[in-house]
Structure 1
Amino acid sequence: MAESAAADGKAAANGAGGGGDAAGDGKKRADQAVAFHELFSFADKWDLMLMAAGSLGALAHGAAMPLFFLLFGDLINGFGKNQTDLRTMTDEVAKYALYFVYLGLVVCASSYAEIACWMYTGERQVIALRKAYLDAVLRQDVGFFDTDARTGDIVFGVSTDTLLVQDAIGEKVGNFIHYIATFLAGLVVGFVAAWRLALLSVAVIPAIAFAGGLYAYTLTGLTSKSRESYANAGVVAEQAIAQVRTVYSFVGESKALNSYSEAIQNTLKLGYKAGMAKGLGIGCTYGIACMSWALVFWYAGVFIRNGQTDGGKAFTAIFSAIVGGMSLGQAFSNLGAFSKGKIAGYKLLEVIRQKPSIVNDHKDGKWLAEVHGNIEFKEVTFSYPSRPDVMIFRDFSLFFPAGKTVAVVGGSGSGKSTVVALIERFYDPNEGQVLLDNVDIKTLQLRWLRDQIGLVNQEPALFATTILENILYGKPDATISEVEAAATASNAHSFISLLPNGYNTMVGERGTQLSGGQKQRIAIARAMLKNPKILLLDEATSALDADSESIVQEALDRLMVGRTTVVVAHRLSTIRNVNMIAVIQQGQVVETGTHDELLAKGSTGAYASLVRFQESMRNRDLGGASTRRSRSMHLTSSLSTKSLSLRSGSLRNLSYQYSTGADGRIEMISNADNDRKYPAPRGYFLKLLKLNAPEWPYAVLGAIGSVLSGFIGPTFAIVMGEMLDVFYYRDPNEMEKKTKLYVFIYIGTGIYAVVAYLVQHYFFSIMGENLTTRVRRMMLSGMYYLHSTISFCGANLSIV
């Protein structure tokens, strides 16, 4: 409604001084969170069963890895201790092979239960949450949207907040239980097998974690700086393209390209640093891990030589403790999702638990057996919830007789549209009553009340569906013939019939595929189909041109017959023939009467003053339009044909444009350029390699680094196999000698990993960053030089 929006604008201006407090309250609210168990408020019995099954599956799945290490350690002992007794060795291997089959079956079943059950229950609960949230939103009164929520907040809640909740109560809960089970089982198995080695293995985990964390922190910082640098370069490019006419007029193409090149040069350097940081980070992580293994295996050899453990138990203790300790970190990685889910859940549950002040319940309130249509405002005092200190009405009283048309007029902010809002019961008065046939509308069932009312706003609200479904919102069970009759009465049937798909034509988002007059006629057809006892017209024709206004006004005149009609009017010329006019000033009715009666009061009358003011404004606009028309004719005669064609060419970016006259014809202009399908170029990969030719030497070095880093995994595995063999040497001196050898190989492999990964990532980053920079420069240059026409930039480019 017109003045509600204006009033809200005033509220924003008046509230600017309190912006700091509002921001603080918003931040405080954003940081609030519900208890984790409250996120499961919409779980039913089936969900409880799914969560129990998923949790059991996660526990079994998590404990399976340490159990695997336990069995594998025993299998190693079966090999190592029975090297001279092949029959016993074969029996041991067969026994543990069968155990591994059983364990594999358990892992298959438990992992399926963990993932499937938690994902399914998470989806089920979030579906219930979305339904409850939307139901709660739709139950709220309009004041809720003025003070507590915006449309964007609600859409964000449905699309994003619910996904955060689903992330927190779905698969990640199973992951958390899984890794906690691995941690606990790993420590138990490791410490039972060989507590000294398990303790040492756990002690080296922080060193590995520190190296990985430092790498991630450094790379994150460089990535953030790189994005910022790219954003700055993007601003330069955006300005150069958006202001292409100015660039061309001052022959500034080279300057623009140089500015862009300088802007992305910093990004290039950051890319080099990121490549080096990645190489060093991964290399150091692998290096420290290899050196940690060297330390652990050295002490394992010492304990075995001293008879404190054997090879199988050493293997079990080392791997169970390390994997268990690492699992704790993986479990904690889910805490961020839980925290985000609790914050998102607070915002959703806050809305769900909020009780509306105007209850929309079919069980609440009464119906009237017969509606005559007498409406009365009785000593109403009202202020909008968003601005309770600004009174719109003070002891406002006005009567709308049944079957008559009453126009409400007044200046901007006088309260005209508020009359409509109170009759629709979008808000309730602070004091006083709004009566329908001498019954307070607060006591009436809200849905029934609104079924008796038809509303046509200044800006018609159409949904992104077909014309037929938009009209059917007035009466969902109406027949096609009833819809066509309503459309005919609203002067809409003629233009609808000319559309390719007729009533099945999609109107687009908010009816963008239709003109203003067409949208308004569909809105009127919707109101006619409802056949209401009361009709509210809130400046229904003020936004239309003269031709559309006459068509729409004719349809409205048909709709008003025999109904109590409240007309909120801006153009006073449209209300000359109404039964009564009420003039509102500063929340009070200052004059009532017919058009002629109010004009007869002369210069002292409020209505007469409004009429004179509008007439003077119209005369001024007509005079200004005449002057502008003569100037335009003079300017048009001086424009060249080339200039005019260039100007029209800039409009080709519209995919569809509808142009409708009084006869209801509709014209569609399609842009064939937007429908072209450009096939992907062939051989583009070879072209990229050719563009990368100056960096081929770096590519060779990077490839060498990749090959070298590829040897690390197999080397680690081979050395580990040899170490396990060494654990079963009968000669302690030989065992110590071989242990030292393989320990030093591990240390050497760690140093080797740092160099290999550094070479790989650094030189490939040089190659990639230079190619990216070169392509960016070529793209901007191509926009200027290969397509150096304004029409290309106007019709084919869009700055996002």
Structure 2
Amino acid sequence: MTLPADSSLSIKHGDAAGESDKVVSGKEDLCTAASAAAGPSKKTPTKKVSFLKLFSFADFYDCVLMTLGSVGACIHGVSVPIFFIFFGKLINIIGLAYLFPKEASHKVAKYSLDFVYLSVAILFSSWIEVACWMHTGERQAAKLRMAYLRSMLRQDISLFDTEASTGEVISAITSDIIVVQDALSEKVGNFMHYISRFLGGFIIGFVRVWQISLVTLSIVPLIALAGGIYAYVATGLIARVRKSYVKAGEIAEEVIGNVRTVQAFAGEERAVGSYRAALVNTYKYGMKAGLAKGLGLGSLHCVLFLSWALLVWYTSIVVHKEIANGGESFTTMLNVVIAGLSLGQAAPDISAFVRAKAAAYPIFEMIERDTVSKANSKTGKKLQKLEGHIQFKDVSFSYPSRPDALIFNKLNLYIPSGKIMALVGGSGSGKSTVVSLIERFYEPQSGQILLDGNDIRDIDLKWLRQQIGLVNQEPALFATTIRENILYGKDDATLAEIQQAAKLSEALSFINNLPDRFETQVGERGIQLSGGQKQRIAISRAIVKNPSILLLDEATSALDTESEKSVQEALDRVMVGRTTIVVAHRLSTIRNADMIAVVQNGKIVETGNHEELIANPNSAYASLVQLQEAAPNLQRHPSQGPTMGRPLSIKYSRELSRTTTSFGTSFRSDRESSIGRAVDGGDVSSRSRHVSSGRLYSMVGPDWPYGLVGTICALIAGAQMPLFALGVSQALVAYYMGWETTQREVKKISLLFCGASVITVIVHGITHCSFGIMGERLTLRVRLMMFSAILRNEIGWFDDVNNTSGMLSSRLETDATLIRTVVVDRATILLQNVGLIVGSFIIAFILNWRITLVVIATYPLIVSGHISEKLFMRGYGGDLSKAYLRANMLAGEAVSNMRTVAAFCAEDKVLDLYSAELLEPSKRSFTRGQIAGLFYGISQFFIFSSYGLALWYGSVLMGKELASFKSLMKSFMVLIVTALAMGETLAMAPDLLRGNQMVASVFEVMDRKSEVLGDVGEELTAVEGTIELRGVNFSYPSRPDVVIFQDLDLKVRSGKSMALVGHSGSGKSSVLSLILRFYDPNSGKVMIDGKDIKKLRLKWLRKHIGLVQQEPALFATSIYENILYGREGASETEVMEAAKLANAHSFISGLPEGYSTKISVIQEGKVIEQGTHSSLVENRDGAYYKLINMQRQQQQQN
């Protein structure tokens, strides 16, 4: 059995929450939610904030922008009712003067100029509307991002153990705030101009013919009711879809962040399965949301058709009784009904507001959270003189995530000023918890921690942490330069101070060997450095602040013997006169400590120096020493050091998955240059690459039945509008006929409208339901394809700064949603408009081909405005998207390394960096909004100008007796509906175009071929295990100019152990990377049993290799499942046997739930079964047992 070593073998119960900067997100199987901290799952009602709360971050300038944008939107909106005033005058002239067409022609030409003047007003008002709302939306969203991250950074560390995860934070910043920004910007402008059109239409209607307006007004409550029901239903469905997306994002973040572990254990298929399971509910909710949208919009159109039927009939009576003439009555009817139609057009904006209110709730909940970190409290005192006496008095403590597991029970410990105290003990004994409590990452349940006799809870926390230098067991570096990483220790440090700190930590030599030296980019989590190099940078960061107290948690564990000795000597010099606490597993590093305290079962059982404690052969300390000395062959070699309580076989350094001193980094020295590369150079191919429409729409090929049905219904829905316009214009003509003819025509038209009201509900419902299913299936398919494609890539691909876990999980979330917008949502709109335009032109050509040709001649002007705006949005939008990706990566990195950020009081530094990343999109949003608004205004100008041109030319045709009043009105009404539809499509362009720029990058990810090919090849019938590297030349892809191996020959015979030693960065771990085929050599061969491993099936190869890394990557599921990750399908007996071999069974069995955390089985949103793994599998009729049994059967079949 392959030892599943990269699992729970080194988990530290009690210490675990305090020993790592990594905040691991949750991961579940299809029906299983495993969380030690969360307890029972509860179904909570959907919560949302008020609409006005979305604008909480608007300042005076934003208020000015919103005021100007609102004025422009209102002028833009009322322009349509004003247009109908002019239109009514023309109708009367034309309708009453049909016996004298030449005189009427002259008057119509004069009034047509009014349309041109109105078009100019629309140009400027729509320009101001779009420009101001886009700019203020970007500004307020940037401030919301800042406030959210600021709040996250100010929370207590315990929050990140129990409530928040990196996935949730990234989801909030990338997805949820974009939803809020959408509501804050163009959507508000659109909504206001539709509402102003609605109000303006009714006001003008009441002034002109109040009877018609009053009848229409009675229908408004039905419209509001239909919209309200839709909004209510949509709120819950949207929140559920969002929640399922958040869970999937957490899984993606975790898997990609631990991709080396995933690939080493051939866990790609399991990862994709977990990701698929998290997404599966979105299909159900998405289908319901689509149906709700269709029925909601269909109901709105149904009410509007019925209102037209009523108004056409009632207007005929008004004209017959001479209350108003035909022109006034008709235009009042049009005004009021189109005003009512504006409510329907505002429905998508209302939907955006609903989504924003739901998405904003967790964001504002975090921002307004009361339990903020003590670091921001100004009530604490600052000691005038710090000596450094530390005392624990009767301290009792348990982690918030595991309140039932007591770590310390009345712990007492005293560390004199300037002395070195070493803490030793078994794994999980609580050594690192002492460090966490001194840093005040957590507060004890009872007892006191005193500094120079002062309770540290009474001391200003930021000042306290500034006096402490911390080096963690797992060094957390940020994706910036070496210099910037060291500056986290002291923000205003000079270059001389940085160099001195690096020199003391023995880091200066390898830094100077790097091409860019201190300006070398270290990559995400320090991925571009070896484990030893990372640790030395972390030590430099702690030293540069010249602290009074040093906390060293396995500070030298990653160093080779020579470097360890030098660093230890440097630390010895630095520790003189400082209070130092050393958490140690390797006892050789603490022999010279002033005092040694042995921690067992939450208490200090022994204290003294090395000689005093070792003198008693029965002491706990002596037992620990004897344990290490009794197993010399199980200890780590000099570059790794022995591990207390974990006598495993050779434990290799994390350098396995890291590039080393020799290969350094692939990025330019200047931070801005590297960012420029990531934004500009890194995405050149995706921005220049053309994606054919055929391939784009082939993505929905498997769902063609839904597409066919949806297309037919969308075309019918679009074709309804020109037919509706034809009926309305026929009613207008009828008003100038005799009463009997008018009655007959009006009755026929009203009945047709009643029939259309039923059809519109059906076609809209089917359209949006069909495309909703297509959209959700496409999103699911694209995410799975992208996720699978990402995991297929070789490890070298993940070394690139563009491919960090934060960026990739962000792209999985946003790109798939936006490709749905491009392919499905855009298709819905376009198909409806195709039906509308084709139907309109056919009818118009039949009625009067001359007028139709003139109107068609104006369409290139309209389309040119649309294309210009599209090109602008594509160019600038791409840059803005990349800028947000950089900011999102920084935010995710800060939260995942929250303990490091807090320990070095770097919250303000992170916020400054984040603010700088947001500055560019904020500054450019003004120019972007101006240009987008201008082109949108020009396109609107063309639309309304075409009305004046069409009416003027129609009057000319009437003067020449080439057209009748009837054909002119019908053609004009049909074409006006077409032009309005095109105008509405332009208004939605900002939404649609954001998706266009993402399409190429999606296909780039899916099409990329891994350089380490792959899962084809042969499998050996028997594996003896002889490994040979013959003539290997190798350099890392990120640094092809730096040679790691040159003609390397190495052979390990079957069944034998070989230790690789050498200084940090010499290439030891590169050997392991080549054996695992994380990378392929440039030349030469890596062979197993005489067979080149390139010819072996990759997953088969990796399944025969057991890997233990320096920094174990555990997944946020049960201990049982983590061990099971080493061999899928292993029995419970085999799992426990592996734990015993790893000396982990005893401490696992001592946990409250043993091998299992609490497991909740969830079905349809409800917890149907809960308990531990062992208790649940005993119930043969339970859902959990059936699920486990089903999975095992599937594994056996596979």
Return the TM-score normalized by structure 1: 0.68
Judging changes above 3 Å, is the alpha-carbon distance between structure 1 residues 442 and 575 closer, same or farther for their aligned structure 2 residues? same
Whether 1:75 and 2:90 are equivalent positions in the alignment is yes
Shift of 1:710: 9.4
- Cα separation, partners in 2 of 1:125 and 1:702, compared to 1, 3 Å: closer
Structure 1 equivalent of residue 413 of structure 2 = 397
Instruction: Give the C-alpha shift of residue 462 in structure 1.
Output: 0.3
The Cα shift of 1:215 comes to 14
Structure 1 residue 201: Cα displacement: 6.3
Q: Residue 327 of structure 1 is aligned with which of 321, 342, 348?
A: 342
Choose the corresponding residue for 1:486, options 477, 498, 501: 501
Partner of residue 23, structure 1 = 42
- 8 Å contact from structure 2 (residues 407, 429) kept in 1: no
Is the partner of 2:606 in helix, strand or coil? Answer: strand
Q: Does 1:472 align with 2:472?
A: no
- Provide the rounded CA distance (Å) in 1 between the counterparts of 2:757 and 2:52: 45
1:432 is matched by which residue type in structure 2?
Q
Per-residue Cα deviation, 1:688-720 (whole angstroms, up to 9, x for no partner): 99xx9xx9xx99x99999999998776766665
List aligned pairs for 1:248-287, cutoff 5 A: none
Amino acid across the alignment from 1:126: A
3-state SS, counterpart of residue 397 of structure 1: strand
Q: 3-state DSSP class of the match of 1:377?
A: strand
C-alpha displacement of 1:479:
3.2
Take 1:428 and 1:16, find their aligned partners in 2: how far apart are those partners?
A: 20
Partner Cα distance (2:381, 2:36) in 1: 40
* Post-superposition offset of 1:55: 3.4
Q: Which residue number in structure 1 is paired with residue 735 of structure 2? A: 727
Alignment of 1:516 with 2:531, yes or no, is yes
When residues 570 and 509 of structure 1 are mapped into structure 2, their CA distance, relative to the original with a 3 A threshold, is same
Separation of aligned partners in 1, 2:548 and 2:716: 84
TM-superposed deviation, 1:434: 1.7
Q: CA deviation at 1:518?
A: 1.0
For 2:448, what is the secondary structure of its paired residue?
strand
Cα shift at 1:423: 2.4
Asked if 1:606 is matched to 2:607, the reply is no
Match of 2:578 among 563, 574, 596: 563
C-alpha distance in structure 2 between counterparts of 1:123 and 1:475, whole Å: 33
Q: Which blocks of at least 5 consecutive residues in structure 2 are unaligned? A: 1-10, 20-25, 27-32, 245-261, 267-282, 288-292, 643-648, 650-655, 668-681, 772-783, 790-1006, 1019-1094, 1100-1198
**Contact 1:409–1:570 at 8 Å: present in 2 too?**
yes
Give 1:41 deviation, angstroms: 3.1
Q: Is the 8 A contact 1:383 1:392 kept in 2?
A: yes
Give how far 1:31 is off. Answer: 2.3
Q: 1:62 to 1:475 in 2, by over 3 A?
A: same
The alignment status of 1:177 with 2:192, answered yes or no, reads yes
Alignment partner, residue 1146 of structure 2: none
- Return the letter of the residue paired with 2:599: I
SS in structure 2 of the partner of residue 537 of structure 1: strand
How far has the Cα of 1:517 moved from its partner?
0.7
Moved more, 282-291 or 47-56: 282-291
Distance 2:461 2:763 in 1: 74
For 2:391 and 2:733, locate their aligned partners in 1 and report how far apart those are by CA, in whole Å: 97
Q: Is residue 388–residue 549 contact of structure 2 (8 Å, CA) maintained in 1?
A: no
* 1:377 equivalenced with 2:377 (yes/no): no
The offset of 1:311, in angstroms, is: 1.9
Query: Do residues 348 (structure 1) and 367 (structure 2) align?
Result: no
Whole-angstrom distance in 2 between the partners of 1:422 and 1:136: 22
Residue 133 (structure 1) shift: 2.9
Structure 1 residue 379 displacement after superposition: 1.2
1:655-677 per-residue CA deviation (whole Å, 9 max, x = no partner) reads x97554xxx6448999xxx9998
Deviation string 1:253-283 (CA, Å, 9 cap, x unpaired) is xxxxxxxxxxxxxx9xxx9xxxxxx999999
2:324 is the alignment partner of 1:317: no
Matches within 5 A, 1:408-557: 408-429=423-444, 430-436=446-452, 438-542=453-557, 549=564, 553=568, 555-557=570-572
Count of aligned pairs:
693
C-alpha contact 1:189 1:316 (8 A) present in aligned 2: no
Distance 1:326 1:476 in 2: 59
The one of 163, 168, 181 equivalent to 1:153 is 168
For 1:286 and 1:169, how far apart are their aligned partners in 2?
27
Q: CA RMSD in A?
A: 6.1
Q: Do the aligned residues in 1 keep the contact of 2:148 with 2:366 (CA within 8 Å)?
A: no
Verify the 8 A CA contact 2:482 2:520 in the aligned structure 1.
yes
Secondary structure in 2 matching 1:530? coil
CA offset at residue 202 of structure 1?
A: 7.2
* Percent identity of equivalent pairs: 44
Distance 1:36 1:733, change over 3 A: closer
Q: Distance in 1 between matches of 2:180 and 2:102?
A: 58
Deviates more, 1:410-419 or 1:341-350: 341-350
Structure 2 CA distance, aligned partners of 1:532 and 1:352?
34
Distance in 2 (alpha carbons) for counterparts of 1:665 and 1:98 = 76
3-state SS of the aligned residue for 2:376? coil
What is the rounded CA distance, in whole Å, between the counterparts of 1:175 and 1:675 in structure 2?
A: 33
C-alpha distance in 1, partners of 2:332/2:205? Answer: 4
Corresponding residue of 2:75: 60
How much does 1:687 deviate?
14
- Deviations for 1:56-93, whole angstroms, at most 9, x for unmatched residues? 44333333322322331232112222345679746754
Q: Which residue in 2 is equivalent to 1:644?
A: none
How far off is 1:297 after superposition? 4.4
**2: distance between equivalents of 1:53 and 1:100?**
24
Aligned letter for 1:611?
A: V
Distance change >3 Å, CA 382–CA 111, structure 1 → 2 = farther
Q: Is the 2:14–2:407 Cα contact (8 Å) retained in structure 1?
A: no
**What secondary structure is seen at the aligned counterpart in 1 of 2:582?**
strand
CA displacement 1:462-505 (0-9 Å, x = unmatched): 00011121122223333334323322332222222333332222
User: Is the alpha carbon distance of 1:358 and 1:615 closer, same or farther for their aligned partners in structure 2, counting shifts above 3 Å?
Assistant: same
Change (3 A) 1:667 1:414: closer
The Cα shift of 1:787 comes to 10
Kindly report which structure 2 residues correspond to 1:30-41, keeping only aligned pairs within 5 A, or say none: 31=47, 33=49, 35-41=50-56
| Helix, strand or coil at the partner of 2:65 | helix
Structure 1 375/421 Cα, relative in aligned 2: closer, same or farther at 3 Å?
A: farther
Which position in structure 1 is the counterpart of 2:596? 581
> How much does 1:393 deviate?
4.5
Between 1 and 2, higher relative CO (CA 8 Å, sep ≥ 6) is seen in 2
Give the deviation of 1:576 after TM superposition.
Answer: 1.7
Shift of 1:164: 3.6
In structure 2, relative to structure 1, the CA distance for the partners of 1:668 and 1:547 (3 Å cut) is farther
C-alpha change, 1:396 and 1:23, in structure 2 (3 Å) is: farther
Change (3 A) 1:750 1:456: closer
AA in 2 matched with 1:728: Y
- Gapped regions of structure 1 (runs ≥ 5): 229-241, 247-266, 272-277, 626-631, 633-655, 765-775, 796-800
Query: For residue 424 of structure 1, what is the amino acid of its counterpart?
Result: E
3-state SS of 2:581 partner: strand
CA distance in 1, matches of 2:695, 2:458: 77
How many Å separate the matches in 2 of 1:451 and 1:502?
A: 27
User: Matched residue of 2:440: which SS?
Assistant: coil
Could you tell which deviates more after superposition, 573-582 or 81-90? 81-90
CA contact (8 A) 2:388 2:548 kept: no
Separation of aligned partners in 1, 2:635 and 2:197: 79
Deviation at 1:596?
1.7
Secondary structure, in 3 states, of the residue corresponding to 1:519?
Answer: helix
Give the partner amino acid of 1:727.
Y
Decide whether aligned partners of structure 1 residues 115 and 382 sit closer, same or farther in structure 2, where only a CA change above 3 A counts. Answer: farther
TM-score (norm 2): 0.48
Structure 1 residues 323 and 744, CA gap change in structure 2 (3 angstroms)? closer
Q: Is the 8 A contact 1:202 1:322 kept in 2?
A: no
Cα deviation digits, residues 633-687 of structure 1 (max 9, x gap) = xxxxxxxxxxxxxxxxxxxxxxx97554xxx6448999xxx99989989999699
